[in-house]
Structure 1
Amino acid sequence: MFTVQYKRFLKPLGKVVLALSVIFPVAGAQGGEEQSDAVGFEDVRLEVPHQARPLEVALWYPVREKGYPMVIGDNPVFRGTKVWKGSLIEEGSFPLVLLSPGSGGSPVTLGWIASRLVRQGYVVAGFRHPGTTTGDSYPQRAAEHWTRAEDISAVLDFLLGKSGFAGSIEAQDISVLGFSLGGLTALQVGGARPSLSLFREQCEGSARKREDCQYLASGGVDLSLLDGEAFGQDLRDSRIKRIVAVDPALTPAMPVKNRESIAVPTLLINLGFEGERMWATDLSDQGSGFAGDLPNSEYWTLGGANHFAFLGECKDGAGIILQEEGEEAICEDPAGSLRSVLHEKIGARILGFLKK
């Protein structure tokens, strides 16, 4: 889906959520972590031809020599993650994971999975997609989702070309990990092509209003004015060798013929038991049926979770803040579940797939 609840949380809580992209120093000097466990971090801004504003990318990487400790993504709602800014990257070449958040999301909110990947020997590049990122998120830009896939290819050009990371990336081992709208982005660079006419038909005729349709309608998006050719264009990037899509958006609008042509090895993840998932992101036969149509894929479900379990861990009292602001309960996990435990399970499944 287009993460309507997460988007609604981000925009009204401006003072709280803008802190998602603020980096805070950690008290004390270097120490505590072994060198091999330290996670390096840098921010990069790129001028790309398809975006009117610079594209911001967060980079996590294995460390040879630590810089100075920081915490990223910390605010009154979410717990941050510790990184080492200004560090020297470990010698060698490493597989790359391109990380695409949901609409209204920030890569630092997904620092928990980025850090896990780095500690297993990966470089991670997380995207602040213009128009669909924290503090800069609009339904119209979410509807123009194809620019996000263009972001992926543009950053990949940079990382493998003129960047200081070029010699540290294993060019034959590049994966994309996407969540929600980012899940769609991941599938698109693998060859997925949603149909605007099919999406319009579903939004206009469905007896059960889908979350993504409702979100775009709430922002005044007129689907009849969207560019159908751009909406369903082929954005595949042959450099992508694996895809991980967590609760991806728009799979109901992907024609079966197109689904069968996606050849990149793909891990599809649904959060929640059958019957409890969001209709717009359900990949099972009870939803879009997408999981059964992809020829080179694995489908994994995690019961006792919900869509927002993929976001960072929440602080004590976060639920009260959200309730006072009249926002969705994005920190409320199903009874008996702990987000930290869910993260361990999700992280292990993703790593198991990437290392095959």
Structure 2
Amino acid sequence: MSHGTGGSALGMGWFGRRLAEKGYIVVGANHHGNTAIEPYQPEGFLCAWERSRDLSTLLDKFVRDPKYGGHIDQKRIFAAGFSLGGHTVIASAGAVYAKDQFLAWLADQPGVNGPREFPDLGDHVERLTENSEPFRTSMTRHGHSYHDPRIKAVFAMAPAPTVRGFTTDSLAEITVPIYIQTGAADQECPVESCTNWLGAKNPSFQIEILDGDIGHYVFLSEPTKYAIEDVPEIAIDPAGINRRTIHQHAADTADRFFSATV
């Protein structure tokens, strides 16, 4: 399970808990440098391809784990993610990211220099390129395939605009079943430029657009009083939107989809 940019596995706890109640073993990644449980690092936001490597490394660990390994049916391994996590799990299914393709698309998006969690992200690229050997090394890997054949199906919630960097050929060649669920009113990851664009590249992808005023952050946990006061733009949904109901629908849909693929 892969969180959105700047988020955490805990923020996707609603999804993990519901699947665990259905008998799944759920492993949530906290992607280094891109997670709210530690200080943000620009490398963690810029090198999104490293996230799929995170998932494969975690999977390696858990199938060998003495407590969990014997309980894991390796014919029924699935991946789910939200926002940049949606990008991550689609990459784990075989989509290949081309940095220049994404930058060309981004150039036509006015005033975008980074996500809301790291609005000056683009300003860090030159410094990192000059001073950071790990960053330069990671950049040489952006066009690699991170397909993990152990993953039998993928459930992506509101995949991020970075999917516009996925090459057309790699998307068309994906045979792993993929289900994409997005709110019709998503302003962060607009349906036409993200979800529907992906669907047009591979007609086998199952697409569900949630009607009404359902936005991007409905896929985060139900907000606490503190969250409502501190980050109302993330925590408060439009009138009539019941986040708990949408969460239940998403988890039930993922369960049915996963169950039908094996």
Q: TM-score range by the shorter chain?
A: 0.7 to 0.9
Query: Which residue among 245, 249, 258 is the counterpart of 2:156?
Result: 245
Which residue of the partner structure matches residue 145 of structure 2? 234
Shift in CA distance, 100/200, structure 1 to aligned 2, threshold 3 Å: same
CA contact under 8 A between 1:182 and 1:248: conserved in structure 2?
Answer: yes
Other-structure match for 1:46: none
Report the counterpart of residue 24 of structure 2 in structure 1: 122
Q: Distance in 1 between matches of 2:19 and 2:61?
A: 21
**Which residue number corresponds to residue 198 of structure 2?**
290
The answer for the alignment partner of 2:237 in structure 1 is 333
Partner of 2:100: 197
TM-score, length of structure 1 as denominator length? 0.64
Larger Rg: 1
Distance in 1 between residues matched to 2:86 and 2:186, nearest whole Å: 16
Structure 2's unaligned 5+ residue stretches are 130-135
The total of aligned residue pairs comes to 248
Structure 1, gaps ≥5 residues long: 1-98
Deviation at 1:214, TM superposition (A): 7.3
TM-score (norm. length: structure 2): 0.85
Alignment-derived partner of residue 3 in structure 1: none
> Which whole-Å CA distance do the structure 2 matches of 1:208 and 1:106 have between them?
28
- Report the structure, 1 or 2, having the larger helix content: 2
* Residues 306 and 106 of structure 1: CA distance in aligned 2, closer, same or farther (over 3 Å): same
Alpha-carbon shift at residue 157 of structure 1 (Å): 1.1
Shift of the alpha carbon at 1:128?
1.2
Q: Give the Cα–Cα distance (whole angstroms) in 2 for the partners of residues 347 and 158 of structure 1.
A: 25
Q: Give the fraction of aligned pairs with identical amino acids, expressed as a percent.
A: 25
Which residue is 2:4 aligned to? 102
What root-mean-square deviation, in Å, do the aligned CA atoms of Structure 1 and Structure 2 show? 2.4
Matches within 5 A, 1:13-92: none
Distance change >3 Å, CA 217–CA 200, structure 1 → 2: farther
Structure showing the higher strand proportion among its residues: 1
Aligned with 1:355 (options 246, 259, 262)? 259
The residue type equivalent to 1:110 in the other structure is: M
In 2, distance between residues paired with 1:194 and 1:171?
Answer: 27
Farther off after superposition, 287-296 or 298-307 = 287-296
- Give the drift of 1:173: 0.4
Higher relative contact order (CA closer than 8 Å, sequence separation 6+): 2
Does structure 1 residue 305 correspond to structure 2 residue 209?
no
